[in-house]
Structure 1
């Protein structure tokens, strides 16, 4: 089984390769750092059975890339491999033509079985993803409306979020904005609450999606 891994995080690529190294039936032909990088490599060699595709990537994200690959190489199976299991990503990935959807904390055997199942005409899915997919089918959501949700951040919260997006620590943010670290922490708690997220990465990505930063 010939596969490629597409992810902008080299550490995660290594982690996925390590999980697959237990199975001699799998050959990782190459990796790519984003969708545009992958499309270039596919032009030179599209002799692949499956792609393991991240969603949040610069230049060309996983959903846009899935759409492009499926138009040109419909025979290649695509499994989304991501940390995000929000409804909008699942819906958009499946709509774009993804053949499976797994979370990155999947164990080696589940990952291997997911690839095999998908290549045999099934669909690799974590139980939590399968449940969310069923709920989406039962209660379809118009994500165009959802993406326009009203998020009201104060000017100070936007400033803190911009600093956070640069990977700065609470202490550095506090120094830059002439605040105490505890005040910065409080602002970040408020930001998480307003954005309905649980991590810095989610906060930054949701803020960018909604043009807040």
Structure 2
């Protein structure tokens, strides 16, 4: 049985374990590399790029999935990339397609969908979650141009700095250390950010800031 050699770039350990569990039943899939950011992935591919597919998260520290995808396509065009993300907004999809990703899946997709996406991609297909496929079709009919009216919501440079670190998936403790401020100051800043953006959680904050070209 020919193995399908796969690398995974995912910084969230829970999401990574979920991916591995979903792929475990499929013996023909061999995981060759696991990386927590795009830069580490590129280093591993320099050592060994004999693989077919990369499952690439978008939001990662150091080097995100879009940046890493551009580099992989440039250096190793034989490798196909499937974006695996929790974000299903038009901008993330547009950026992934422009970077050269072959497919785009959501982290909530089940193991069977993931397996089929991998096998279809090796055969030259372009896999997408059903909801994502509808967005892509709409994008073809009306190309994404970022025409939404944007706002800055009165965010300060410090608050934007915190938002960028949140986008990278860093913990409050890590952000406090990076910015040389206290944990409680970080929490206060984030509370203010949520109020200004009128959101309830990190995911909504990052997505709304991205939609308005603040990140």
TM bracket, shorter-chain basis: 0.7 to 0.9
Equivalences for residues 148-187 of structure 1 within 5 A: 149-153=150-154, 158=159, 165=166, 167=172
Two-structure CA RMSD over aligned residues (Å):
3.0
Q: Which runs of 5+ in 2 are unaligned?
A: 174-182
The separation in 2 between residues aligned to 1:204 and 1:88, in whole angstroms, is: 12
> Given the alignment, which residue of 60, 66, 74 partners 2:69?
66
The separation in 2 between residues aligned to 1:8 and 1:79, in whole angstroms, is: 16
Q: Deviations over 1:126-148 (max 9, x none)?
A: 111011011111111223x65x8
TM-score normalised over the length of structure 1:
0.78
**Contact 1:85–1:129 at 8 Å: present in 2 too?**
yes
What is the aligned partner in structure 2 of residue 181 from structure 1? none
The separation in 2 between residues aligned to 1:55 and 1:35, in whole angstroms, is: 9
Q: Between Structure 1 and Structure 2, how many residues are aligned?
A: 192
**Contact 1:192–1:199 at 8 Å: present in 2 too?**
no
Q: Which runs of 5+ in 1 are unaligned?
A: 178-183
What is the aligned partner in structure 1 of residue 178 from structure 2? none
> Given the alignment, which residue of 187, 210, 213 partners 2:214?
210
> Given the alignment, which residue of 10, 14, 31 partners 2:13?
10
Matched residue SS, 1:29: strand
**Over alpha carbons, which structure has the higher Rg?**
1
**Contact 2:55–2:82 at 8 Å: present in 1 too?**
yes
What is the aligned partner in structure 2 of residue 180 from structure 1? none
> Given the alignment, which residue of 200, 203, 208 partners 1:201?
203
Q: Deviations over 1:98-130 (max 9, x none)?
A: 000000011000100010111111111011101
What is the aligned partner in structure 2 of residue 97 from structure 1? 100
Determine which structure has greater relative contact order: mean sequence separation of CA pairs < 8 Å that are 6+ residues apart, divided by chain length: 2
What is the aligned partner in structure 1 of residue 198 from structure 2? 192
Query: 2:121 aligned with 1:111, yes or no?
Result: no
TM-score normalised over the length of structure 2:
0.78
**Contact 2:5–2:32 at 8 Å: present in 1 too?**
yes
